[in-house]
Amino acid sequence: MTPFLEFLDVSFSYERNSVLQDLNFTMEQGECAALIGPNGVGKTTLLRLAAGIAACSQGSVSLDGRRLDALPRGEAARMVALVPQRFEVPFDFTVEQIVQQGRTPYLGLFSGFSRRDRIAVERALELTAVTSLRKRVFNELSGGERQRVKIALGLAQEPRLLLLDEPTQNLDLGRQLELLDYIRVLNDEGVTVLAAMHDLQLIPGTFSSVLLLGPDQEIRKGDPQDLLQPDILERAFDCPPRRHPKLVVENRILLERTP
Amino acid sequence: METEIAEKTASGSSTRVYLSILAFLLVVLAGVLVLSMGMGATKIGVREVLTSLLIGHGSGSTDSVILFEIRFPRVLASVLVGAALSVAGLLFQGLFRNPMADPYVIGSSGGAALGAGIGLFLLPRFSFLGFGAAAAMAFVGSVATIALVYWLARTNGRVPVVTLLLAGFAVSTMLSYSTYFLVVLDDNFGLRTRVLASWLTGVISVPRWTQLEVTAAMIGSGLVFCFPLARRLNTLALGDDYARQVGVQVEKTHLAIILAGSLLTAAAVSLGGVISFVGLIVPHMARLILGPDHVRLLPVTAIAGAIFLVLADTLARTMLAPSEIPVGLLTAFIGGPFFLYLLRRTRREYTL
């Protein structure tokens, strides 16, 4: 069986600086994976490659057995959506107007919104619980609300693979847990999820697997309980001994509550 | 139930309101046109204006000659220039994702004026399908200027207010002094000098009909070209990366916006010279009322721009009658403070 997402010997360089080197991993359909690794190791780049908005300098990225670089952009956009970390909107667009943009891959230049487009937008708003915010101006929302709108925007694309870049960043504890609930709901709906995560404590209970991108460009994949081990994390994140992230696995204050 | 929700969210609830706004603006435009044509050194009543327009050229009375030879072409020119500059402003604001962009601020008007000046100097007799060298070179000048400012001001796919304004300021200063240099070079002080000088301040004089036809064709095709871009502008507002992600060909779309905006600017400049800030004020007002959806903004901006400039030009030619103020001076008087207010607000809203 061909894997759903496949990175095969992928290298990426930006202005002669090599960012990623000879990366190999696969994801199955329906997986919910957390991408972790130290700052600047290339997590965002990896997500951009998976979304097909950056092209690898060597190797290939395939989605459902088809190479992304051979797919027309519009078709790829109907399969995979990336929810970016940074998202600035210069004008006062409402939540609804923003989420509608997610339908762009389904629309011609002149065709109007079809019934199917509207339903997709409604579903996206509902799944992320922002239906009541639809007429509000995006720039006036709180951080947690904005994060959910961004995910709704991704969902409106009706992707089979949803890529999230640090979705819990800048959120308070309650909003972080809330966001994880939404990610679980989406995953239950059959969306394959790959999310770059900074807070390792949030991973067990939500994510079924972990992709660890180490500083030496080696990528490891495994179950959360296997990979979130002090010795592994200590090396990957270059933590001094005694302050190493033993907490992550032992102190499960947050995670006990999760179903 | 589901359909009901779906129907309502197709932005359908306010479609009626939107159409009423559009109809209202058209009525206002018609009213402003008739009133404006009656005003001037010779006052002509509304009824006379209307009957003259209905009967046509034939009547031969002094009033009808004034109307058809002087007032009508000039008012029509204001309509064209106002619509073109406003829509160009809307396009550039979308392109730069920045509400401070305007054909004047980013130098595209200046580029068009210099281009037109060079065309007038080097190839005064050149003409192709009625398009003189001036109009063609104005287009080239505008495209080149925007391309330059775009290249100078963009950093990492974003155009911060500061770099946009600095690049636009530096480039347009160079351009306007280059145009001024052409005026100095031209020592015969003939018609050419006067035309050049009026391009620098922005004057809508009484155009010849052929000139109106050419610019109307340019502006008409520019506007038609804009409509498919309007939806793209909404997507581009969410960022280049996002637009790319949902399948928009970002570079090609940017190029199309630059070309359409330049066509509009070039047409406006070859008719009325450098008229500042219209493209800033009108889209901003429209956005306050309608929100940022470019599909809806586009027609409203065009009509409101026409109204705005007809009013401004009428003021310019009647305020200190019998002498006339250049309309560019008037829009600068209104637009300058407005620009500063916007700058103040923008600075507060986005720390770029």
pLDDT in tens, B192-247: 777 777 777 878 877 778 888 888 998 999 999 888 899 899 999 998 889 989 98
Which of A101, A121, A157 has the CB atom closest to B9's CB atom? A121
Spans of chain A below 50 pLDDT: 245-248, 250-259
Q: Where are the domains of chain A?
A: 1-79+193-259
- Are B274 and B110 a contacting pair, CB within 8 Å? yes
Query: Do the bridges between strand A32-36 and strand A209-213 make them parallel or antiparallel, or are there none, so unpaired?
Result: parallel
Which of A82, A110, A113 has the CB atom closest to B245's CB atom? A82
Name which of B337, B326, B223 is nearest B277 in CA terms: B337
Query: Do the bridges between strand A5-14 and strand A58-63 make them parallel or antiparallel, or are there none, so unpaired?
Result: antiparallel
- Are B197 and B183 a contacting pair, CB within 8 Å? yes
SS3 content of chain A, % helix, strand, coil (to 5): 40, 25, 40
Q: Which residues, in sequence order, are CB contacts of B61 under 8 Å at separation 6+?
A: B52
User: What is the CB neighbour count within 10 angstroms for residue B321?
Assistant: 10
CA dist list (Å): B2 to A120, B5, B9, B289: 12, 5, 11, 30
Verify whether the Cβ–Cβ distance B244 to A53 is below 8 Å: yes
Structure tokens at A18: 């090599």
CATH code at A1-79+193-259? 3.40.50.300
Give the ipTM of the model, two decimals please: 0.85
- The Cα B285–Cα B292 span in angstroms is 11
User: Look-up: residue for tokens 């589901």?
Assistant: B2
Q: What is the pLDDT of residues B77-129, one digit of tens each?
A: 999 999 999 999 999 999 888 888 888 888 888 888 888 888 877 776 666 55
Residue of B nearest to A157 (CA): B246
Q: Three-state DSSP class for A206?
A: coil
Verify whether the Cβ–Cβ distance A94 to B242 is below 8 Å: no
Whether B132 shows a pLDDT value over 60: the answer reads yes
Structure tokens at B240: 């280049």
Verify whether the Cβ–Cβ distance B231 to A139 is below 8 Å: no
Burial class (CB in 10 A: 0-12, 13-18, 19+), A123: middle
- The Cα B349–Cα A88 span in angstroms is 12
Q: What is the pLDDT of residues B137-180, one digit of tens each?
A: 888 888 899 888 888 888 766 677 778 788 888 888 888 888 88
Name which of B155, B230, B305, B346 is nearest A91 in CA terms: B346
Which of A74, A109, A122 has the CB atom closest to B228's CB atom? A109
Report pLDDT for A33.
Answer: 94
Structure tokens at B160: 């911060």
Q: What is the pLDDT of residues B309-352, one digit of tens each?
A: 999 999 988 888 778 888 888 888 888 888 888 877 765 554 44
DSSP A35: E
- The Cα A152–Cα A164 span in angstroms is 12
User: Buried b vs exposed e over B270-298: b needs ≥16 C-beta within 10 Å?
Assistant: bbbbbbbbbbbbbbbbbbeebbbbbebbb
Interface of B with A (CB under 8 A): 2-3, 5-7, 9-11, 97-99, 158, 228, 231-232, 234-235, 237-239, 241-249, 287, 291-293, 349-350
Name which of B99, B94, B93 is nearest B347 in CA terms: B99
Q: Is omega for the bond preceding A90 within 30 degrees of 0, making it cis?
A: no
Query: Which CATH architecture best describes the domain B15-349?
Result: Orthogonal Bundle (1.10)
Verify whether the Cβ–Cβ distance B237 to A76 is below 8 Å: no
